[in-house]
Structure 1
């Protein structure tokens, strides 16, 4: 979601019609606002949830996060709620089914990566599982941005996570994509300091 988060670099939180302060990307679209208010930045610690997050971040690559949100229900249906054990069993006929589904993001490389990543997720259970693996890269401190320009697009930890996931065999897990995952899943808190959501995850002190 990095291109959405950083689209208005000099801006701080904006007071919305309900009196709450939100970043510019969560102001003008109701779907983005709802996502910001209820999901973004909240801890995701279960395997299925993190696999879905990795998959959605991969599908977002080169697109806007709004497109992904608009198609998320269809993607969940098409990928059987992103259950790794189910997705790992997808065969060539499933790929063709997905490529013909006009409700989702039809990109063969991203579809293939999602199936591949499901297989790797299952393999990772031998070493503690996806959640333990990803959360082991939680940094010791989190950004304290006053404006969008203060929010980084990657970090030492997202670079390390990207390298580690790639070594395991994951695809579409670059450092910027993994920083976006860390933001969305609560490993870092990049809510603006004066946003009404700052500190809401409970992972980081306000």
Structure 2
């Protein structure tokens, strides 16, 4: 770990995670009971892997906040009436984690922040969805081969139509839970107190 800490002080500053593409509608709550004209219809929606990501950020030692994104994201959204009865299931390939920098990718893999051999997939499954302010509060579980933990996400719709649904959900996981599920032994002592999680999803009607 001493060697890893030394490596963290080398190289360039960690690049910021590329911003999400601009969306054509401001944040607004999803309709809660009946779908309006042009809204996403109830039923199964398939997550568009090419347009969806899971982003994480966590402090490492005293030198940096590491940001990365998982780009291999699949799953489905089941829209219901009322919308509170809807559900979300997401599965992420842990090996698809990238920081956007080869230097920091080497650091992430050397640190064992994500143990891709033991935990090849990370799964999220929703449990409850309820209105909260101008959006929604989504409770669910994160699961890997090592176990399961609860997580609460703030969810906002970023646009919907008959052909595409866009939303994002953000929350935090205590580092002790994140490392228990994802990391090699010894990583926790290098991390900050929590890991931020940001899920960006676009979905299309399932065929």
Structure 1 length as normaliser, TM-score?
0.31
Answer 1 or 2: which has greater strand percent: 2
Ranked by relative contact order (alpha carbons within 8 Å, sequence separation 6 or more), the top structure is: 1
Answer 1 or 2: which has greater helix percent: 1
Structure 2 length as normaliser, TM-score?
0.31
